[in-house]
Amino acid sequence: MDKVLSLNIRLVNKLLKDNALTSTHLTSKCLERINNTKKYNAFITVTSDLAKKHADESTERYKENKSLSEIDGITIAIKDNFCTEAIRTSCASKMLEKFIPTYNATIYERLKNAGAVLVGKTNLDQFAMGSGTVDSIYGPTKNIWGDEKDCYITGGSSGGSAIAVATGSCFAGIGSDTGGSTRNPASYCGLVGLKPTYGLVSRLGLIPLVNSMDVPGILTRNVDDCVSILNEVAGHDPKDSTSLRNPYKKIRLPPGDKMTIKNLKIGIPREYHCEGLSDEVLETWNEIACCLENAGAIIKDVSLPNTEYSIVCYSILNQCEVASNMARYDGVEFGFRADENTSTEKLYAKTRSLGFNEVVRNRILTGNYFLLTRNYEKYFNQALKVRRLISEDFDHVWESVQILLTPTTLSTAPKYNDFIGKTNRDQCAVQDYCTQPANMAGIPAVSIPIKLSKNNLPISLQLMGRNLSEPMLLAVAKFIEHIVQFSHNTKYIKI
């Protein structure tokens, strides 16, 4: 692989500015890389022509010394559940297989306006429901890591964006994160995965799964790249009513070796020592806690007592919002329409049974059940109350610590055959255990790769902080990155 594809964004930007590299060349290298790594199935649509056009425009800007930002000419990939004008946005589903949006999601609009070059739209679990990137009408995305090639899942649902970045096909991938969909694949694919504070990055144009929890996420090979992207996409969007109004201050992190975490209070939540936590992940968690303590941090044992109710509560709220969000796909207004004209009811039924997979259909059915007048109080309202308790657990914990350190996932990436043997419900219970509480509370969280397991799969840890603590969270992530030197110690993207 071309070395330039493994550099960080700031260095590439410097080369572009010095005219030692052009965006046209960089983009052609990325497109070549996409072509050579097709077997991992990261992309649903490769936007070669558009990418070349945008790259040429960027090249011209650099020539005239008029570059737009640090990410001008930098290649990116976007999960196929973000609307992109005139580019198919399928949600990996039959329902939206032919859907061509007429507008751009704000996140893409901002990246484009900053000069970034979109190389393609990436694979996911249908409508972002899942944790494996295995439930796509385009087939599963495959992990690049592991002793036995091609047999481990990438995690999900943003596995396509993760593998696009991990293979060096682009510098940043945009994912979405409702219960862990950015952090989970980041953890399994050896990447940095940021779930920003709810409302910090606009949701406009992100096809909704659970409106009250969805956030766009960022996948990169290192913390600095994540910051470069976040700085361009964060900030108020008047077109998203849940977007935060606080003006966004750009984050600037010092070099890793100039950082200190002296007296930083780090909490280790007891409840994350849960059933199913693998020995290797536990060991890694302890090791890093020790390293941070040796570097001057104060490590405290803390409790988030309602964690055990989180998955069931999430699952109810998720299904209720899914039932409501999916109601728009009826074969009349959006997307796929079945060939059925005997009655409107039959048209709806056939459209939805052919247009959605089993996971989506199950969630619609259970969600509607929870929302029945006779069940509403017992399930939906009750789950909202539990969600409040989970959120309050975090508020209490911030009284004694500034940041939490936990695993991102309980184990390394499962094998495809083991994973698909389980139901979607079981998978969520195992896969989202550590990631999903942050979505319930709206707080920011980041997954950082630490090292490889015995069978060469990435092991990652997660940091969580209070709302809008991204500057501190990413600074500590960078500190850890500097200690562990993951990309230096591994055969990173040398596939």
Identified binder of ligand GLN from the candidate list 22, 37, 106, 176, rule CB under 6 A: 176
Binders of ligand GLN among residues 53 to 112 (CB under 6 A) are none
Question: CA–CA distance from 495 to each of 26, 75, 150, 185, 228 (Å)?
Answer: 19, 19, 12, 18, 26
How many C-beta atoms surround the C-beta of residue 159 within 10 A? 39
Active site residue 79: yes
CB of 98 to ligand GLN, least distance (A): 23
**Candidates 58, 176, 181, 411; catalytic one:** 181
Binders of ligand GLN among residues 128 to 157 (CB under 6 A) are 128-131, 157
Identified binder of ligand GLN from the candidate list 80, 177, 225, 237, rule CB under 6 A: 177
Binders of ligand GLN among residues 234 to 263 (CB under 6 A) are none
Q: Show the site string, 335-364: x = touches ligand GLN by CB under 6 A, - = not.
A: ------------------------------
Q: Which is nearer to ligand GLN, 77 or 129 (CB)?
A: 129
Judged by CB under 6 A, the stretch of 83-91, 179-187, 460-468, 481-489 that binds ligand GLN is: 179-187
Identified binder of ligand GLN from the candidate list 115, 146, 159, 180, rule CB under 6 A: 180
CB of 207 to ligand GLN, least distance (A): 11
CB of 324 to ligand GLN, least distance (A): 15
Judged by CB under 6 A, the stretch of 174-182, 282-290, 296-304, 457-465 that binds ligand GLN is: 174-182
Per residue, the 3-state secondary structure of 198-233, as one string, reads CCCECCCCECCCCCCCCEEEEEECCHHHHHHHHHHH
# chain residues binding ligand GLN, by CB under 6 A: 16
CB of 432 to ligand GLN, least distance (A): 5
225 counts as binding ligand GLN under rule CB under 6 A: no
Q: Which is nearer to ligand GLN, 72 or 321 (CB)?
A: 321
Residue with tokens 């990996």: 92
CB of 41 to ligand GLN, least distance (A): 19
Q: Which is nearer to ligand GLN, 93 or 131 (CB)?
A: 131
For residue 129 the two structure tokens come to 């429901």
Judged by CB under 6 A, the stretch of 50-58, 70-78, 105-113, 170-178 that binds ligand GLN is: 170-178
Q: Which is nearer to ligand GLN, 48 or 362 (CB)?
A: 362
**Candidates 23, 29, 67, 79; catalytic one:** 79
Active site residue 157: yes
Residue 15's Cβ-side half-sphere holds a number of Cα atoms within 13 Å equal to 18
Q: Which is nearer to ligand GLN, 82 or 398 (CB)?
A: 82
Binders of ligand GLN among residues 276 to 335 (CB under 6 A) are 318
Q: Which of 13, 198, 229 is nearest to 118 (CA)?
A: 229
Active site residue 169: no
- DSSP per residue, 390-409: HHHHHHHHTTT-SEEEEESS
CA distance 455 to 93: 33
**Candidates 23, 58, 93, 157; catalytic one:** 157
CA distance 46 to 121: 6
For residue 244 the two structure tokens come to 């935060």
- DSSP per residue, 233-289: HBS--TT-TTS--SPPPPP-PPPGGG---TT-EEEEEGGGS-TT--HHHHHHHHHHH
CB of 101 to ligand GLN, least distance (A): 19
For residue 25 the two structure tokens come to 């060349």
Edge-to-edge, what's the strand order for the sheet holding 458-465?
43-46, 117-122, 75-79, 172-177, 215-220, 192-195, 445-452, 458-465, 403-407, 265-269, 298-302
Q: Which is nearer to ligand GLN, 248 or 369 (CB)?
A: 369
In DSSP terms, 266 is beta-bridged to 299, 403
What is the CA 162 to chain-centroid distance, rounded? Answer: 8
CB of 129 to ligand GLN, least distance (A): 5
Q: Where are the alpha helices (DSSP H) in 48-119?
A: 48-63, 106-113
CB of 318 to ligand GLN, least distance (A): 5
Q: Show the site string, 424-453: x = touches ligand GLN by CB under 6 A, - = not.
A: ----x--xx---------------------
Burial category of 150 from C-beta neighbours within 10 Å (exposed 0-12, middle 13-18, buried 19 and up): exposed
CA distance 11 to 204: 31
SS3 category, 75: strand
Q: Which of 317, 424, 417, 425 is nearest to 376 (CA)?
A: 317
Which residues form the interface with ligand GLN (CB under 6 A)? 128-131, 157, 176-181, 209, 318, 428, 431-432
> Which residues are tagged catalytic?
79, 157, 181
